[in-house]
Amino acid sequence: MNDFSAAQRSRVTMLDVAEHAGVSKASVSRFIGDDRALLSDATALRIEQAIAELGYRPNQMARGLKRGRTRLIGMLVADIRNPYSIAVMHGVETACRQHGYSLVVCNTDRDDEQERQHLALLRSYNIEGLIVNTLGHHRDELRELHREMPMVLVDRKVEQLDSDLVGLDNPAAVEMALTHLQERGYRDVLMVTEPFDGTSSRIERVSSFKAQIAQRPTLTGAVVETGSELTAHVKTFLNTPGPGPKALFCANGIAALASTHSLRELQCNLFADVGLIALDDLDWYPLVGSGITALAQPTAEIGASAFECLLKRLRGDIGAVRTLDFSARLIVRGSTLGNLQ
């Protein structure tokens, strides 16, 4: 721990750090910038120790203005309360920090006007690139921004926006869920999803569900949306005779929470009366009954990969648009163990 005052820290220069560490000023610049990987571990450690001992604080904004760069990355999020968005955002921020960038996050709260205002705000901050996880209703503004800077989409496509996309392999995840339910003896499946609202990942999951049900003669399936009528829909599903044991398939964590509330309200015996499998793997899943079987998304990797795609574009990559689809991981818990054959 050092005892440098704020005034003393402000007087420490990059040259002071270089001399203290016994390296060149260029090496210190690389360490502070996005070229840290070019340094040996020993050199990076000496620079890190020198910065700590001298209390050096680089003025990133001044460096950015001098070089015509701000080292700011923007992220537009549809709903910051969504656990998926928070987890992906953490992955993006961690990757930004590792490469010397700072993340500016704007939450649209699923409001079109907020989205428009935040796009203008991010442009005023002179961000170098943008990661988008929103409904993308302001396509013209997004396309205009994309002409000025690299842009990467997370989880959901935006029509007429030719950008890299990072997310989940939704068809494979749906297939994994239905195969698991079928192997566990379930025969009647109700998929619960949030309203589409133009969200491509939700549309893709429901389309994949319907296609998979059509290919599996021993399964029947239906789809309902979350909302005020969900409990009534679940009650009808449970009370209607079907081809065999019943299960809910929740398309994300928010749908899983709504479905669990409905099952509690209907006083179901979790999970003997009905099975349940859900996309995402939230902290509370293991705490409900004997635990909710999950299809975990690699959110940290999705966030980090979104930034890596952006970084490649910032460094001049003009290759074809890429789509990176990550695989879900099945975590079996008690919610799908009630009907083993």
Q: What is the pLDDT of residues 14-54, one digit of tens each?
A: 899 999 999 999 998 888 776 777 899 999 999 999 998 99
Mean pLDDT computed over 278-285: 97
Q: Sheet containing 164-168: which strands, arranged edge to edge?
A: 102-107, 72-77, 129-133, 151-154, 164-168, 323-326
- In angstroms, what CA-CA distances link 321 with 14, 92, 161, 299? 39, 20, 11, 21
Mean pLDDT computed over 294-307: 98
Give residue 12's pLDDT.
87
Cβ neighbours of residue 179 closer than 8 Å, sequence gap 6 or more: none
Task: Compute the distance between CA of residue 243 and CA of residue 240 in angstroms, rounded to an integer.
Answer: 10
Give SS3 for 111.
Answer: coil
Give the DSSP letter of residue 327: P
pLDDT confidence bin for 289, thresholds 50/70/90: very high
pLDDT at 208 over 80: yes
* Look-up of token digits 């309203």: 195
Q: Tell me how far apart the 2 most distant CA atoms of the chain are, in Å.
A: 79
Per residue in 113-143, pLDDT tens?
888 899 888 888 889 999 999 876 778 888 8
* Mean pLDDT for the chain overall: 90
Give residue 7's pLDDT.
45
Domains of the chain: 6-58 (1.10.260.40), 70-168+300-326 (3.40.50.2300), 170-297+329-336 (3.40.50.2300)
* Look-up of token digits 């620079």: 47
CB 75 within 8 A of CB 92: yes
- Phi, psi (rounded to 5 degrees) for 102: -115, 145
Task: Compute the distance between CA of residue 190 and CA of residue 193 in angstroms, rounded to an integer.
Answer: 10
Give residue 339's pLDDT.
53
Give residue 64's pLDDT.
56
Per residue in 84-116, pLDDT tens?
999 999 999 999 999 999 999 999 998 888 888
pLDDT at 6 over 50: no
Cβ neighbours of residue 115 closer than 8 Å, sequence gap 6 or more: 76, 108, 134, 135, 137, 138
Give residue 167's pLDDT.
97
Q: What is the pTM of this model?
A: 0.80
Note the residue count of the chain.
341
Give residue 135's pLDDT.
74
Give residue 336's pLDDT.
97
Give residue 57's pLDDT.
78
Give residue 123's pLDDT.
87
Indicate if the alpha-carbon torsion angle 13, 15, 21, 26 is positive or negative.
positive
Angle between helices 41-54 and 25-32 (to 10 degrees): 90
Task: Compute the distance between CA of residue 294 and CA of residue 333 in angstroms, rounded to an integer.
Answer: 8
Question: In terms of DSSP bridges, do strands 293-296 and 275-279 run parallel, antiparallel, or are they unpaired?
Answer: parallel
Mean pLDDT computed over 330-340: 86
CB 55 within 8 A of CB 8: yes
Give residue 1's pLDDT.
46
CB 76 within 8 A of CB 133: yes
pLDDT at 341 over 70: no
Give residue 11's pLDDT.
78
Which of 180, 177, 179 is CA-nearest to residue 168?
177
Task: Compute the distance between CA of residue 247 and CA of residue 232 in angstroms, rounded to an integer.
Answer: 16
pLDDT confidence bin for 291, thresholds 50/70/90: very high
Give residue 29's pLDDT.
84
- Among the listed ranges 2-6, 48-52, 212-216, 281-285, which one has the minimum average pLDDT value? 2-6
Q: What angle do CA 100, 104, 107 make, to 5 degrees?
A: 150
Structural tokens at position 40: 């040996």
